[in-house]
Structure 1
Amino acid sequence: MTDATLKDAAVGRRLSLPRIPVSVAIAAGWIIAMLLVAILAEKIAPYGFTQLDLRNRAAPGNVAHWLGTDELGRDVLSRLLVSIRISLLIAFGATAISAVVGTLLGFLAAHFRGIVEQFVLMLADFQASMPFLILALAVLAFFGNSLTLLVGLMGLFGWERYARIARGLAISANAQGYAAAVRQLGAMPSRIYLRHILPNIASTLIVSTTLVFPEVILLESGLSFLGLGVQPPMTSLGNMVGYGREYLTRAPWIMLAPATTIVVTTLSVSVIGDWLRDRLDPTLQ
């Protein structure tokens, strides 16, 4: 193979690489930064998130406290870093539960059809028709607040989307040749769905995950804002916004820092989700 041929092949590979828009690159950078902050929160926080400084209560940003302090003299930056960890932990946990539950129910509906399918679709319609925030408020008010209960409860948010998508795609895959061929070879249904069908529909489910993830963040923020989410002394982004609203006119930095983080994070995930949808949708190629 000549040098010219190698050069042409290299140029072809460069031209075939997907061009990532600037907005998507910025959004991905922000998400990566948030993940690093969540992992290293306790190490990079300048103070303990419950440490008090009564001499500097509700003080604006300065050399000692870059983002200022709250009404009790706690460092806003330190609390913001820990809040990012807790909010992302809840969002990732709830999204994972929602995706697993919805996908499994969708596979069950596609495999058994008949009564099982109608039952799953009925549950999905019931879930979609009921305002989830009201249901969450009722459950948390009755059973009390705990981080485990909060993650499990929000894991039930959005599962019907995964169930409908997984059911439709699984039915379509069962009608294709590869699933029938594997079935004729004697493979178990679990192997067919998890090893053969799931990888082929994973791209669509990933796009759905990027749509549910920001909604979970906003839902957690809303519950914490109403006082039924993360409870003190633990903190989250919504918790900080809820406490900071009372000092919006006197110390706006208490609320603006977590509110800005919520907006930018949800916007970044949405931008990445829109880009993935356009890239993975064969009808748009």
Structure 2
Amino acid sequence: MSATATLPPARRLPQIPWYVTLGMGWIVLVLAVALLADLITPFVYTAMDLQYRLVPPFQTWAHPLGTDELGRDVLSRLIVSIRVSLLIAFGATLISAILGTTLGFLAAHFRGIVEQAVLMLADFQAALPFLILALSVLAFFGNSLPLLIGLMGLYGWERYARIARGLAISASAQGYATAITQLGATPQRVYLRHILPNIASTLIVSMTLIFPEVILLESGLSFLGLGVQPPMTSLGNMVGYGREYITRAAWIMLCPATVIVLTTLAVSLVGDWLRDRLDPTLG
């Protein structure tokens, strides 16, 4: 027998559609811009120069995306806005995932009245228009970045809670969780070391589906003037202030709006592809 005959067969690489590849590339680009914002921003994003007020894009090398109504560089503000919007989206998504997963595990572990309370709270959250709740809270308590991130973290937690509860109950029914418990493992160890890794792929896919919704929600609140407040800037904030100049300087609004559309589309495409790859029921 030859040496080549004993070699294991080559593992087939997953076929990634071209549009998913483009989505991944855009996500990597946006993350790189957010991480390197302080190094690649050509100007201070709050710096004003009225001599260069409302300069159109590609008219000068100094301002390739033009300037706004106060002479501020649109490219610099766009870079900083990407970082702020992604910070809010990542922070809110993590808070929502941790909160929902914790409540789902509590419902699966204690059952009874605890489970009913969590499910009733999840139903109430799903039935309540979150935008109205967010507008009410921000109008009453004022605007601050930590408050905005914490408030956005309440969005979508009921999805994680239902997923975590159902998968935890299913894992317990399979027997390995009961066996580990009989060996003396604490409930915390069972859920964190054994059940959570087995359901992590489903939770990650859920995060990729909720992440673009959080970006759109933050953009909507900032557009209405109750999100990120000046001098800080975000993508929704730029769109909100740029709408007043849509007929004279459309680039002020179109640049951040394009980034919002492409980012949410890219994350949604990658999330759908991951769901199809990780779901064993889809073949």
Which bin holds the TM-score, normalised by the shorter protein?
Answer: over 0.9
Which residue is 2:206 aligned to? 208
- Select 1:167's aligned residue among 165, 181, 187: 165
* 1:53 is aligned to 2:41: no
C-alpha separation in 2, matches of 1:205 and 1:13 = 30
- The 2-side partners of 1:152 and 1:227 are apart by 18
The equivalent residue for 1:244 is: 242
Task: Name the SS for the 2:68 alignment partner.
Answer: coil
Alpha-carbon distance, 1:4 to partner: 2.7
Partner residue in 1 for 2:18: 22
1:147-166 equivalences in 2 (<5 Å)? 147-166=145-164
Structure 2 Cα separation of the partners of residues 130 and 218 of structure 1: 18
C-alpha distance in 2, partners of 1:78/1:201? 40
- The answer to whether the aligner puts 1:108 opposite 2:106 as a matched pair is yes
The residue number in structure 2 matching 1:4 is 4
Quote the Cα distance in structure 1 between the aligned partners of 2:35 and 2:18: 26
**CA displacement 1:210-243 (0-9 Å, x = unmatched):** 1100000000000000000000000000000000
Partners of 2:261 and 2:224 lie apart in 1 by 18
2:36 corresponds to: 40
Moved more, 128-137 or 175-184: 175-184
RMSD: 1.0
Higher helix share: 1
Distance 1:218 1:26 in 2: 21
Question: Matched residues in 1 for 2:13 and 2:181: separation?
Answer: 36
Detail structure 1 runs of 4+ shifted over 4 Å in the superposition: none
Give TM-score, length-normalised by structure 1: 0.97
Residue 10 of structure 2 aligns to a residue whose secondary structure is: helix
- State how many pairs are aligned: 281
Return the match for 1:141 from 139, 144, 155.
Answer: 139
Distance in 2 between residues matched to 1:224 and 1:187, nearest whole Å:
47
Determine helix, strand or coil for the equivalent of 1:282. Answer: coil
The amino acid across from 2:212 in the alignment is: P
Q: Secondary structure at the match of 2:87?
A: helix
1:5 to partner: Cα distance: 2.3
Displacement of 1:21: 1.2
Distance in 2 (alpha carbons) for counterparts of 1:2 and 1:212: 53
Bigger mean CA offset, 226-235 vs 18-27: 18-27
Which amino acid is 2:146 matched to? Answer: T
- Residue identity (%): 75
SS of the aligned residue for 2:281 comes to: helix
Q: Distance in 1 between matches of 2:227 and 2:184?
A: 48
CA shift, 1:17, in A, is: 1.6
Identify the residue that residue 92 of structure 2 maps to in structure 1: 94
Structure 1 residue 197 displacement after superposition: 0.2
**Deviation of 1:19 (Å):** 1.3
TM-score, normalization by structure 2 = 0.97
Distance of 2:190 and 2:4 partners within structure 1 = 46
5+ long unaligned stretches in structure 2:
none
Q: Deviations over 1:173-203 (max 9, x none)?
A: 0111211110110100000000000000011
Instruction: Please give the per-residue CA displacement for 1:6-47, whole angstroms capped at 9, x wherever unaligned.
Output: 6x63xx324x22111111111011101111100111110110
Give the equivalent residue in structure 2 for 1:13. Answer: 10
1:3 Cα deviation (Å)?
Answer: 4.2
Secondary structure of the corresponding residue to residue 67 of structure 1: coil
Deviates more, 1:54-63 or 1:110-119: 54-63
For each residue in 1:249-281, what CA deviation from the matched residue of structure 2 results, as whole angstroms up to 9, or x when unmatched? 100000000000000000000000100010001
Tell me the amino acid that sits aligned with residue 122 of structure 1: M
1:56 to partner: Cα distance? 1.0
